[in-house]
Chains A and B, each alone.
Chain A
Amino acid sequence: MIKIENLTKDFDGYTALNGLNLSVSKGSIYGLVGVNGAGKTTVIKHLAGVYRGDEGVIQIDGEDVYDNVNVKSKMGYVTDDLYFFPQYSLQMLGKFYAKMYSKWNESRFAGLLELMELDAKRRVGRFSKGMQKQAALALSLSTMPEFLLLDEPIDGLDPIVRKRIFEWIIDDVAERKMTVLISSHNLKEMDGICDTVGIIKRGTMLIEKDLDELKAEMSNNPEFAHQPPSLDEIFIHVYESHDLKGNGKKVKANA
């Protein structure tokens, strides 16, 4: 289980996270959504142990995350901003990961590369962005992570690749009870695979709920054109109503 309580982070006077709370159940897929600059990547970097919060608690399976080797060894993290050792091929990276991660699964790695049609001997730096993302995902999934953090994993990928990636993730969740947290702009895609969503704005969690429950709740609202409403519609509704609340104009919005 992933748990964040009252997380606050300040970057030189700019409050990126402001008392944020987040909870992801084991074996679920959590969609973290928000506009640009809402704080999604900052949350994920805290969970990955890169950043240290100014205040608050970040725990995975009851253990503090920051500088915790045990937690990091159970975690896979695919960032939007990928880095591979220059000159390294996937084969070389696979060998390195095999030494770094005790649960490394070589046959799975080979299988994933075959599925992705990636050349293991070619330098990863020569891959296209989409291929690099697949490569990163293959490496991460082959470490057999218990927790997978994906920051904009499908940005810039074609629909076929997107579909494949989600299939692998869903398979892993089903087979190994892997816990996944995905941040994305692509709400349509998230709509199909997430169990739970959290909508954040300016570093604060606006709403965090089981997606089906949320849709059921919202389905009585006459504002939505479709029934049940899509995640897109819910997201816009929540964001706007929060804005209006903030401005003291909720009555006008309802009217």
Chain B
Amino acid sequence: MLNKALLIEQLKRFWAISVLATLVYLLAVYAPMVSEPDAWRAMRRLIDIITMRNEIMIFTLLLTPLLAAFCTFGFLFNKKKATAFYTLPISKSQLFATNALAGIILSLIPLIIFSIVLLLPLGFHDDIAQAWRNHALSFPDANPINLQEQIPATILPSGVTEGAPINVPSVIGGFFLRMALATLFYFAMFMLAFTLAGNGIVGLLVAGVKPLIPIGLFYIVSLTGAFFVFGHGTGLFGNWILASMVMAYFNPVFWGDVMRDPIFFTRTEAVIIPYILYILMTAGMFASGFVLSHRRKPERTGDSIVFRPVKNVLIFLVSFAIMLIVAVIMYSATESIAVMYIGAVVGFVLGYVVAQMIAEKSIYVMHKMKYLLHFGGVVVGLYVFVFAFTQFGMGFYVNHIPDRDQIYGIRVDEGAHRLMGDLELRRRAFVTDSDSIDAAVQAHQTILDNRRYLHRAPNTNLDSYRRFVNGVLQMRERVTIQYMLLDGQIITRNYVLPISFVESSGIYTFLDSEARVLTQNSLLMMPDVLHSWEFSFSVLTYTIDAHGERHWRDSNPVRVIVSDPEQMVIVSDLLLQGLVASAAEFRTQIHDPSIWRGTTTSFELNVGAWPREDLAHQRAHPIGSWRGLHFGGVYAEKLLDQLAEWGLVLEHDIETLHELMNMESDEFVFQTTH
């Protein structure tokens, strides 16, 4: 299967790739870490490396297999070279396998050297090892809450002891396996792109477009769902968690995004599934490359794409993508469905012309315009199919409320965090009392009963619900209803509803309920998983200008940590009361359109919840930290008073905050200026 002589020759010819990549890894990634005088920062760099978030490393991870594939399979782009390689006394199978192995070796050698060097003990201090165990690092120079770093529970070394180096073989071994798999993935991807392409430029274009196809398809489905199916979409770019999963699952450079975030992704989602997917996709791409390299016709060398069906598919995809982009831009600018369709037609023709120019390597493509109708016909057919599917298939499913008997619990809105841990934790994030479930079902039914009216309301399915259109403020409420069924299945429905409907239908009483507050802030239902509450009090000045642009200014925060179990219970209760009471207060305020223009000054409370330190518990329930809960008003003041009573906040700090507020307004409520 392999030809040893050619393998050695290819390695001799292109050794510089490995040397270059090794130098980059060592000088631009490793050296800055070990030369970092601050241990915390060095630690942060190490975490970035291990979790594949170091930009230079990721760039090198992509560039090395790209260069290796371009060099070992570059003969495919040149007739002279192709002839020379095909006349060597080896079979096409040997030629493919040998070049592939040469490219893999060239790509992996730098990684092996880098990983070995990473094993050298870095001598971090005890407190850092401790922080590692707690899965979180705070950086003194950063905003204490918003920039805290997550250390993924998913790739923790087992049995780290105080003061021990964390770059142990198991951690670095895991790092190497992930990087090696990503390298193989990209090598296979580039190799396949080059096998499809007839010249280097198109090869690079194909390689660049390929990883975007899955996320493109995801957004196409999301977009069409949002347009056609009431209750389906979370809006154009709403479901970022799912989007980031799709992105990461088809592009290992984004692996770090899911691996590093134990709040949203479990170990299975962040590590196991990507491993399996990458292995399968890599194997699939190598197999495809092998088959296609046999079918590739050398006489087509120099063409854009050497396989005609693939060429047509790519022309279609490029046309389709440009069609969507133009349609979305036109719709966003005018919010008119008719203009969107015109944009789609113009975009498709434009995309087709551009795609043909690339395919034909010429600006003279008039003779290809006769096929435009064929491609356009496919689009229309696809549109009819999608329309029918969404209306008669998906629509029925989406607009179906589960049987009451099968509902275990409900959530209103996906909340500040999505508990992706085990089923037990997921169940605890749902409100299970009968009244709340009945209220949810009733509210859902009310929405569905009015869907004809609601569906016709402009822009109801798009994810923009407070903005100025032609100088008029349009307000919509986004409502997410989630049902957990007895079998653990979670069903999610998203609606963007006009405020007028929310007010007139009585749904707001349901939306302001304790159930919503609890499910938006699920940790209030499970204090046992928490180690501490962390509060940050500040004064926020927020301005929305005449164009709807938002600006804000935040004062230096006063930070308080509550870790006493009894005090935590009281704090949780205060938070719940405050949130429930302020929900209605907040709604009353936001229904006054005047506050959405001008400046408001508010007393801001930023809440963080830190999980228990117990490592075993953390691994079982990787919920990580909880961030980003913002609200202002008198309940923040009550909480501040309580904390002051316990001596956790200095009187001086409270006075400073009050002074700041007084500089902007007289009391701790929303103030609007025009």
Partners in one complex: yes
CB of B358 closer than 8 Å to a CB of A? no
Could you tell me if A67 and B83 are in contact, using CB atoms closer than 8 angstroms? no
The reply to whether B299 and A49 contact each other, CB–CB distance below 8 Å, is: no
Contact A83:B297 (CB < 8 A) given known A50-B87, A69-B90, A72-B87: no
Known interface pairs A83-B81, A96-B5; A51-B92 also in contact (CB < 8 Å): no
Which residues of chain B come closer than 8 Å to A85, judged between CB atoms? Answer: 9, 13
| Contact digits for B73-87, partner A, Cβ 8 Å, 1 yes 0 no | 000001111111011
B91 touches A67 (CB 8 A): yes
Establish whether residues B83 and A83, one from each chain, have CB atoms under 8 Å apart when the complex forms. Answer: yes
CB distance from B82 to the nearest CB of A (A): 7
Alpha-carbon gap, A77 to B86, bound state (A)? 11
B-contacting residues, A16-72, CB 8 Å: 45, 48-52, 67, 69, 72
A82 to B4, CA, bound (A): 24
Question: Whole-angstrom distance between the alpha carbons of A69 and B297 in the complex?
Answer: 18
Chain A proximity of B133: nearest CB distance (Å): 53
**Which residues of A from 79 to 136 have beta carbons under 8 Å from B?**
79, 81-83, 85, 87, 96, 99-101
Q: Does A50 contact B86, Cβ atoms closer than 8 Å? A: yes
| Interface residue A241 (Cβ < 8 Å from any Cβ of B) | no
Bound complex: CA A48 to CA B90 (Å): 12
- The chain A residue sitting closest to B3, CB to CB, is A100
Whole-angstrom distance between the Cβ of A111 and the nearest chain B Cβ: 23
For residue B81, which residues in chain A have a CB less than 8 angstroms away from its CB?
83
Compute how far the CA of A233 lies from the CA of B548 in the bound complex, rounded to whole angstroms: 88
Bound CA span A72–B86, Å = 9
**Which residues of chain A have C-beta atoms less than 8 A from B87's C-beta?**
48-50, 72, 75, 77
Q: What's the tally of chain B residues with a CB closer than 8 Å to chain A?
A: 26
The answer to whether A83 and B86 have CB atoms under 8 Å apart is: no
Whether B84 lies near A83 (C-beta < 8 A) is yes
B302 interfacial by beta-carbon distance below 8 Å = no
Contact A49–B86 (Cβ < 8 Å):
yes
B84 near A11: Cβ-Cβ < 8 Å? no
User: Interface size of A by Cβ–Cβ distance < 8 Å?
Assistant: 23
Chain B 271-310 near chain A by CB (<8 Å), digits 1 or 0: 0000000000000000000000010011100000000000
**Would you call the interface of chain B mostly helix, strand, loop, or mixed?**
helix
Point out which of A45, A73, A101 has the most chain B C-beta atoms below 10 A from its C-beta: A45
Docked Cα-Cα span, A237 to B233, in Å, equals 77
Q: Which residue of A lies closest to B295 (CB)?
A: A52
Interchain CB contact (< 8 A) of A45 among B80, B83, B88, B91: B83
Most buried by B among A48, A75, A96: A96
Which listed residue (B3, B6, B78, B83) contacts A50, Cβ 8 A? B83
Point out the residue from A52, A81, A87 that lies within 8 Å of B79, measured CB to CB. A81
Contacts of B577-622 to chain A: CB distance below 8 A: none
Q: Which of A72, A82, A99 contacts B5 (CB 8 A)?
A: A99
Contact A72 to B80, CB < 8 A, known contacts A50-B298, A99-B5, A100-B6? no
Question: How far is the CB of A250 from the nearest CB of chain B, in Å?
Answer: 36
Which interface residue of B3, B5, B6 has the most chain A CB atoms within 10 A?
A: B5
Instruction: Provide the bound-state CA to CA distance between A49 and B294, in Å.
Output: 13
Residues on B with C-beta less than 8 A from A82 are 80
Contacts of B471 in A (CB 8 A): none
- Nearest to B95 among chain A residues (CB) is A67
Scoring B4, B89, B299 by chain A CB atoms within 10 A of each residue's CB, the highest score goes to B89
CB nearest neighbor in B for A76: B87
The CA of A50 and the CA of B301, in the complex, are separated in Å by: 12
Out of B82, B84, B92, name the residue touching A67 (CB < 8 Å): B92
Question: Are B91 and A69 touching (Cβ within 8 A)?
Answer: yes
CA distance A51 to B94 in the complex (A): 17
- Contacts A51-B298, A52-B297, A85-B13 given; does A72 touch B83 at CB 8 Å: no
B9 with A11: CB separation less than 8 A: no
Contacts of B9 in A (CB 8 A): 85, 96, 99
Residues of chain A within 8 A of B79, CB atoms compared: 81
- Tell me how far the C-beta of B92 lies from the nearest C-beta in chain A, rounded to whole angstroms: 5
A253–B81 alpha-carbon span in the complex (Å) = 46
| C-alpha gap A91/B94 in the complex (Å) | 25
Chain A residue at minimal CB-CB distance from B92: A67
Q: How far is the CB of B29 from chain A (nearest CB, A)?
A: 30
A81, B299: Cβ atoms under 8 Å? no
Q: In the bound complex, how far is the Cα of B91 from the Cα of A75, in angstroms? A: 14
CB distance from B530 to the nearest CB of A (A): 64
Cα–Cα, bound, A81→B81 (Å): 9
Of chain B, the residue at the smallest CB distance from A81 is B80
CB distance from B175 to the nearest CB of A (A): 35
Q: How far is the CA of A94 from the CA of B618 in the complex (A)?
A: 63
Residue from A11, A82, A99 with most neighbouring chain B CB atoms (10 Å): A99
Cβ-closest chain A residue relative to B84 = A83
Q: In the complex, are the beta carbons of A69 and B89 less than 8 A apart?
A: yes
Bound Cα distance A50, B298 (Å): 7
Q: Return chain B residues, CB-CB under 8 Å to A87.
A: 13
How many whole Å from A208's CB to the nearest CB in chain B?
24
Pair A51/B89 contact, Cβ less than 8 Å: no
User: Once the chains bind, are B5 and A100 in contact (CB under 8 Å)?
Assistant: yes
The docked-state distance in angstroms from the alpha carbon of A85 to that of B12 is: 11
A182 to B78, CA, bound (A): 24
Chain A residues closer than 8 Å to B13, beta-carbon distance? 85, 87
A23 to B294 alpha-carbon distance, docked (Å): 28
Least Cβ distance of A87 to chain B in Å? 8
* Contact string against A for B residues 87-105, beta-carbon threshold 8 Å, 1 for contact and 0 otherwise: 1111110100000000000
B299 touches A51 (CB 8 A): yes
Known: A11-B299, A81-B79, A85-B13. A100 touches B91 (CB 8 A): no
**Chain B residues with CB under 8 A of A99:** 4-5, 8-9
Residues of A within 8 A of B90 (CB): 69, 72, 100
* Cα–Cα, bound, A99→B84 (Å): 16
Which residues of chain B have C-beta atoms less than 8 A from A81's C-beta? 79-80, 83
Chain B residues near A45 (CB-CB < 8 A): 83, 298
Inside 8 A of A67's CB, which chain B residues have their CB?
91-92, 294
Taken together as a complex, chains A and B put the C-alpha atoms of A100 and B3 apart, in Å, by 8
The distance in angstroms between the C-alpha atoms of A49 and B85, with both chains bound, is: 11
Q: Smallest CB–CB gap between A133 and chain B, Å?
A: 14
Report the Cα distance A206→B79, complex, angstroms.
Answer: 29
- Among residues of A, the one whose C-beta sits closest to the C-beta of B9 is A96
Closest approach, in angstroms, between the C-beta of A241 and any C-beta of chain B?
32
Give the CA-CA distance A49 to B82 in the complex, in Å: 12
Which A residues lie within 8 Å of B92 (CB)?
67
Mask, B161-200, CB within 8 Å of A = 1, is 0000000000000000000000000000000000000000
A100 touches B88 (CB 8 A): yes
A79 surroundings in chain B (CB, below 8 A): 80, 83
Q: How far is the CA of A212 from the CA of B115 in the complex (A)?
A: 72
Nearest residue, chain B, Cβ from A84: B84
Chain A contacts for B89, CB-based, 8 A:
69, 72-73, 75, 100-101
Which residues of the partner chain A approach B83 to less than 8 Å between Cβ atoms? 45, 48, 50, 79, 81, 83
Tell me the B residues contacting A by CB distance below 8 Å: 3-6, 8-9, 13, 78-84, 86-92, 94, 294, 297-299
Q: Apart from A50-B86, A82-B80, what are 17 other A-B pairs with CB-CB below 8 Å?
A: A48-B83, A48-B87, A49-B86, A50-B82, A50-B87, A51-B297, A51-B299, A69-B90, A81-B79, A81-B83, A83-B80, A85-B9, A99-B4, A99-B8, A99-B9, A100-B3, A101-B89
> What are 9 A-B pairs at a CB distance below 8 A?
A49-B87, A50-B87, A72-B87, A81-B80, A83-B84, A87-B13, A99-B8, A100-B5, A100-B88
Interface residues of A (CB under 8 A from B): 11, 45, 48-52, 67, 69, 72-73, 75, 77, 79, 81-83, 85, 87, 96, 99-101
The 3 closest A-B pairs by CB, nearest first: A99-B5, A73-B89, A83-B80
